[in-house]
Structure 1
Amino acid sequence: MATVPDLRRHLHAFRLHPFVASSLLCVLLAGLAQLCLPQASPDASSSPCRCTLPEKMPCLFMHGLGEAQTLPLQDSYPSYWGQIHHNAPCCSSVRFARIETINRGWDHPSLQDDFCAAAMNVSGSTCSGRIDKLILVAHSMGNLIASGALASGRCNMAKNVHWISIAAPMEGTKSSNCIEKVCQNEWMAPLSVAIGSMCPAPPAILSMRHMSTVAEPMKQKFKDAQHAWARHVTRLSCGVDTFGVVGVSSLFNSLRNWWVAMWSFHDHPEVDGLVDFSSCTGGRDWDGFGSHAETSLHYKARVNHMDAAFQNGDGWWGSDRKPMQWFQCTL
Structure 2
Amino acid sequence: MVHTQEYESLLPTKNTKHSHRRRSFIIIILVTIAILLGTTLGLAYGFIYWKSRCIKTHKHVQLKHVLPGSFGIEFKLHTKNTSDTSTENDITIKWEHEPKDIRYRQKTEEMVSNDSVLTTVTIVNNNATVSYELGNETCWLNPDNSSIFEWYSILPLIMESVRSNHREDGCRERMWTTTYNGRRVFICIIDQRISYIRYDNRVAQSQEWMVPSQSSIKLPSDATKCGMMDSEMTSLLVVDDDKRQNTSDSTRQQLSYSQTYRKDNEYLKQPEIFVRSAKPDCLFIHGIGVKSPKTGYKSLKSMSYWGHIEKNTPQCSSHKFIQFNTVDNGWDSVSLHKMFCEFATGSNVDGRISNKIIFTHSMGNNIVAAALHRKVCSFDVQSSKWFSVSAPWRGSKVVLKLEDLCSGHLGPSHHKSENLLWLVLEHTKYCTHEGKMSPAYRTLHPTYKSPTGISYDDLVAVARLHVTGALCGTSPWGMGLSLSFSGTLKFIQSFSHLDQPNDGVVALNSCNVFGKKFQSIAKFALMSVNHLESSMKFGCRKPLCSWYQIL
- TM-score w.r.t. the length of structure 1 is 0.76
Matched, 1:30 2:129: no
Pairing 1:175–2:411 present: no
Deviation at 1:325, TM superposition (A): 1.0
Map 1:233-272 onto structure 2 (within 5 A).
233-247=467-481, 250-266=482-498, 268-272=499-503
Query: Structure 1 residues 64, 42: CA separation in 2 closer, same or farther (over 3 Å shift)?
Result: farther
2:440 partner amino acid: A
Per-residue CA deviation, residues 4-25 of structure 1 (Å, 9 max, x unaligned), is xxxxxxxxxxxxxxxxxxx999
Number of the residue aligned with 2:18:
none
Equivalent residue in structure 2 for 1:154, among 360, 369, 376: 376
Question: For 1:143, what is the secondary structure of its paired residue?
Answer: helix
Q: Counterpart of 1:229? A: 463
Tell me the C-alpha RMSD between the 2 structures.
Answer: 3.3
Summarize the Cα distance change of 1:42–1:154 in structure 2 as closer, same or farther, 3 Å threshold: farther
* Matched residue type, 1:258: K
Q: What corresponds to 2:286 in structure 1?
A: 63
Q: Which has the higher helix share?
A: 1
1:284-311: CA deviations, max 9, x gaps?
4132437xxxx82311001111211122
CA distance in 1, matches of 2:298, 2:453: 32
User: 1:138–1:164: 8 Å Cα contact kept in structure 2?
Assistant: yes
Secondary structure (helix, strand or coil) at the match of 2:549 reads helix
Answer whether contact 1:42 1:314 (CA < 8 A) is retained. no
Query: What is the rounded CA distance, in whole Å, between the counterparts of 2:350 and 2:522 in structure 1?
Result: 36
Unmatched 5+ stretches in structure 2: 1-130, 154-180, 182-199, 203-266
In structure 2, C-alpha distance between the alignment counterparts of 1:205 and 1:135, rounded to whole Å? 27
By how many angstroms is 1:261 displaced?
Answer: 0.9
C-alpha displacement at 1:126, in angstroms?
12
- The match for 1:201 is 437
Q: Distance in 2 between matches of 1:273 and 1:201?
A: 17
**Aligned-partner Cα distance in 1 for 2:287–2:485:** 16
CA gap of 1:300–1:29, structure 2 versus 1, over 3 A, is same
What SS does the aligned partner of 1:269 have?
coil
* Matched residue, 2:519: 289
Moved more, 255-264 or 193-202: 193-202
Picking from 301, 306, 326, the partner of 2:532 is: 306
How far 1:131 moved relative to its partner? 1.4
Distance 1:287 1:36, change over 3 A: closer
> Is the 8 Å Cα contact of residues 168 and 275 (structure 1) preserved in structure 2?
yes
| 1:276 maps to amino acid | A
Where do residues 67-106 of structure 1 align in structure 2 (5 Å cutoff)?
67-70=290-293, 71-77=297-303, 79-106=304-331
Deviations along 1:88-112, whole A, 9 cap, x unmatched? 1211111111111111111010011
1: CA distance, partners of 2:450 / 2:333: 17
* One-letter amino acid of the structure 2 residue matched with residue 63 of structure 1: H
Higher strand fraction: Structure 1 or Structure 2?
2
Contact 2:476 2:493 in 1 (8 A): yes
Name the CA distance, whole Å, in 1 between partners of 2:523 and 2:466.
15
Q: Contact 2:307 / 2:539 at 8 angstroms: preserved in 1?
A: yes
Specify whether residues 42 and 273 from structure 1 end up closer, same or farther in structure 2 by C-alpha distance, changes over 3 A only: farther
1:276 to 507, 514, 519: 507
User: 1:91 is paired with a residue of what secondary structure?
Assistant: coil
Q: CA deviation at 1:52?
A: 2.6
- C-alpha distance in structure 1 between counterparts of 2:337 and 2:487, whole Å: 32
Displacement of 1:180: 1.9
The 2-side partners of 1:36 and 1:310 are apart by 17
Which residue identity is paired with 1:119?
A: A
Mapped pair 1:135 → 2:361: no
Counterpart code for 2:540:
D
Identity %: 27
Q: Shift of the alpha carbon at 1:86?
A: 1.7
Deviation at 1:274, TM superposition (A): 0.6
Please name the residue that 2:334 is paired with: 109
Question: What amino acid is aligned across from residue 516 of structure 2 in structure 1?
Answer: W
Aligned residue for 2:48? none
Letter in 1 for 2:361: H
Taking structure 2 as the reference length, the TM-score comes to 0.47
Give, in whole Å, the separation in 2 of the partners of 1:297 and 1:288: 8
Shift of 1:176: 2.1
d(CA) in 1 for partners of 2:387, 2:489: 23
Map of 1:10 onto structure 2 = none
Q: Does 127-136 or 31-40 show the bigger shift?
A: 31-40
> Deviation at 1:195?
1.8
Partner of 1:329: 550
Q: Which structure is larger by alpha-carbon Rg, 1 or 2?
A: 2
